Structure 1
Amino acid sequence: MKLRSYLLLANTISIAFIIILLLVFYRYMLLNREQFIWLTLATVGAGVVSALLHFLLVRPLETSVRRIGEGAGRIAAGDLQARVEHTGLTEFKKLAEQFNLMSTSLDESFRQVKAAESAQRELVANMAHDLRTPLASVQSYVEALEDGVIQDEETFRRYLATIRSETVRLGELIHDLFELSTLGAAKREPEELKPAVVEDVLVELLPRFTKPIDSKSLQLRVKLPDRPLRLRMQPRHLQRILQNLLENAVRYSPQGGLIFIEAEEMKEEPGRVIRFTVSDEGEGVPMEERERIFERFYRSDRSRSREGGGAGLGLSIAKLLVEQYDGQIGIMPSGLLQGSTFWFTVHEAVEGAGEGQVTKATLKEEASL
């Protein structure tokens, strides 16, 4: 039943009830004939006026309800851009406003779902590409060895070294994928945090880069504050962030280039924030790519080559780790002659100096690689 018919029916029932009461009063001599006629006419007249008022006042209500219903129908049909005008009574204006907010929220959610689906398809495609390439290389070299086409010892060993390097590459990619998938679900409990001592982390990390740095004749310099730095971050996470940024810097640094690592206090930031920077003298990252450089599997064209290496996961992992500890990460032009500078911030631990710290002399010895 429509709203108008429902209200008219209620009005008719009320008028009929009043007339029945008048008949009862007239029968038991509570009203004379003239009073009964006048009261009956007054009741009927009031009913007619009431019906007209119902007809006039219900029309805007019907219009508002119909407008909201049409909007809901458009959304049900897939038009998430449907909106309702803010007209009519105050209650219907509020209802239209809430309806539009719901429509906007649904539209945004649908966009996010589509973006997630697109990102998932891209992720699967990139994973397939990055897994297929080393697998195809391993397969071709193994088939060559199985067919006995390699006769000299030097070529045989070179094939084995290539197979080993490709399997290591596969293992690193699978490890990065696993870590990337677990970072989003990991929950950090503050009371379980072991503060990271920057000197300890660097002394353990830098020797791993001795071979790649020597192979390109790179210079590595480290600059830290005079006092020990203890950060509100697990040591292994700080080490992983710096490792990923250093790997990126070493990969794109030219022969004989300089890599510069610096940690400094940000006095303008409340809460004792430490800012790390890793600078290189490579080609640099184009301005249009800086917004996407931290996306999963995103790589510039120059890193798609075999020499460029990398699966495009290192910076994504670094970003997730930094944000897990309420920090920030980004990229800017290098302060050196050319190249890029990656930076991230970490909050400093405020309690105790802790144990296991190393001297500046030890760190400088490792930094002279």
Structure 2
Amino acid sequence: MKDMLLIGLYALVSGAVIATGGAIALRLLRGRSILVHIGVLLAATVIAVVSGVVTVAQAMFLSAHDLQVVLITVAASAVVSLAVGLVFGRRLATSAVWAAQAEAQERKAEAGRRELVAWVSHDLRTPLAGLRAMAEALEDGVVHDRESVAEYHRRIRVETDRMTRLVDDLFELSRINAGALRLVPTMVPLADLVSDALTTVAPLAASRRIRLVAAGTGWPVVTASEPELARAVTNLLVNSVRYTPPDGTVHVAAGHDHQDVWLSVSDTCGGIPEADLPRLFDVAFRGERARTPAHGTDLSSAAGGGLGLAIVRGLVEAHGGRVEAHNIDRGCRFIMRIPAVTA
């Protein structure tokens, strides 16, 4: 019994020494990654066990052969334990990183939703106040002449169309975020699709004296869902027209690039600050302080609420593609890329 107590004391002391060293190492490495901490913890545990076994084996006065067998067995077990522990530790560290990234993305998404609600509230509250004032003026007979009444009616229609477009954008964005888009891929000639989009945007461009130019040749055919792709192209055109100064130019082109079909919309907006480029396609992001389109813009034709480019990104990514923006001479260029064949 006395020998057993002595052997236990040897094992306890050796294990305590190694455990203390491991604790000190963990404290010194507290700023490192979780994988480093797991490695140190595993190493301290395995070394503590090995040292305890070796100490006990020596205290038992084993023969040289038996001691060698014990050491080889313990060493092999230690290597296997460390290897298995590091594999699972790496997986645990990866899972922790993913969890942290997911949490960060969720916080960013929540902040984006709060910002979106604030901006949309502004974009709805302002025209609603104007509509109410104009409706009360008409109801109370404040305006009498036919020209003023007609102007009030026109402004009410414009503001109503603007709010309708904003609600449509919110609904489309909610479908994208919820994964509820139901794409029906067909063979879509980009020449016809762009022609229809230019026709839609032409009144807005004319009101701002902006020239719309389309490349003459090289229009490919892409496999995509036509309504969603048409909306993405129209939103890009509207965005370029809205931010291009009067007498500017918006140019549209398309072609093949490796395995992708690309479509570009270039304008003469004067360029985008480099700090704004990474956020252009974020929900409710606008690069200017004003939250309303420029004076003279047909509000019903513009994508309100800062949602137009966010919808473009969502629709393009739903097709397995991507959209990007670059500064060019005197303006910027938006490029949509969609795989030549999409599911």
| 1:119 paired residue among 112, 117, 122 | 112
| 1:300 paired residue among 280, 287, 293 | 287
Report whether the alignment pairs 1:108 with 2:108: no
Matched with 2:193 is: 201
Matched with 1:248 is: 239
**Structure 1 residue 278: deviation in Å?**
0.7
- CA–CA distance in 2 between the matches of 1:311 and 1:302? 13
- CA–CA distance in 2 between the matches of 1:330 and 1:224? 23
**C-alpha distance after superposition, 1:320-350 (max 9, x if no partner):** 1111122121111235xx1221111122249
Matched with 1:210 is: 202
**Structure 1 residue 193: deviation in Å?**
1.6
Matched with 1:341 is: 333
After superposition, residues 37-52 of structure 1 pair within 5 angstroms as 44-52=1-9
Report whether the alignment pairs 1:257 with 2:248: yes
- Scaled by the length of structure 2, the TM-score of the pair is 0.73
- Counterpart secondary structure, 1:53: helix
- CA–CA distance in 2 between the matches of 1:151 and 1:64? 92
- CA–CA distance in 2 between the matches of 1:64 and 1:176? 61
Q: 1:83, 1:103 within 8 Å by CA — same for their partners in 2?
A: no
- CA–CA distance in 1 between the matches of 2:119 and 2:17? 57
Report whether the alignment pairs 1:277 with 2:264: yes
- CA–CA distance in 2 between the matches of 1:256 and 1:82? 59
Aligned residues: 290
Matched with 2:74 is: none
Cα distance change on mapping 1:257 and 1:189 into 2, 3 Å = closer
Q: 1:225, 1:264 within 8 Å by CA — same for their partners in 2?
A: no
- Scaled by the length of structure 1, the TM-score of the pair is 0.68
Matched with 1:41 is: none
- CA–CA distance in 2 between the matches of 1:57 and 1:81? 26
**Structure 1 residue 116: deviation in Å?**
2.6
**Structure 1 residue 155: deviation in Å?**
0.9
Letter in 1 for 2:104: R
Report whether the alignment pairs 1:86 with 2:78: no
Cα distance change on mapping 1:164 and 1:82 into 2, 3 Å = farther
Residue segments in structure 2 that go unaligned for 5+ positions in a row? 28-32, 47-77
Report percent identity of matched pairs: 27
- CA–CA distance in 1 between the matches of 2:159 and 2:208? 21
Q: 2:185, 2:226 within 8 Å by CA — same for their partners in 1?
A: no
Cα distance change on mapping 1:101 and 1:208 into 2, 3 Å = closer
Greater relative contact order (Cα < 8 A, sep 6+): 2
Matched with 2:320 is: 326
- CA–CA distance in 2 between the matches of 1:143 and 1:60? 86
Cα distance change on mapping 1:103 and 1:56 into 2, 3 Å = farther
Q: 2:212, 2:250 within 8 Å by CA — same for their partners in 1?
A: yes
Cα distance change on mapping 1:303 and 1:265 into 2, 3 Å = farther
- Mark the structure with the bigger radius of gyration: 1
Matched with 1:223 is: 215
Report whether the alignment pairs 1:291 with 2:278: yes
Q: 2:265, 2:333 within 8 Å by CA — same for their partners in 1?
A: yes
Letter in 2 for 1:216: R
Cα distance change on mapping 1:188 and 1:125 into 2, 3 Å = closer
- CA–CA distance in 1 between the matches of 2:95 and 2:102? 10
Letter in 2 for 1:348: A
Cα distance change on mapping 1:331 and 1:62 into 2, 3 Å = same
Cα distance change on mapping 1:143 and 1:61 into 2, 3 Å = farther
Q: 1:224, 1:263 within 8 Å by CA — same for their partners in 2?
A: no
Alpha-carbon RMSD across the aligned residues, in angstroms, is 3.3
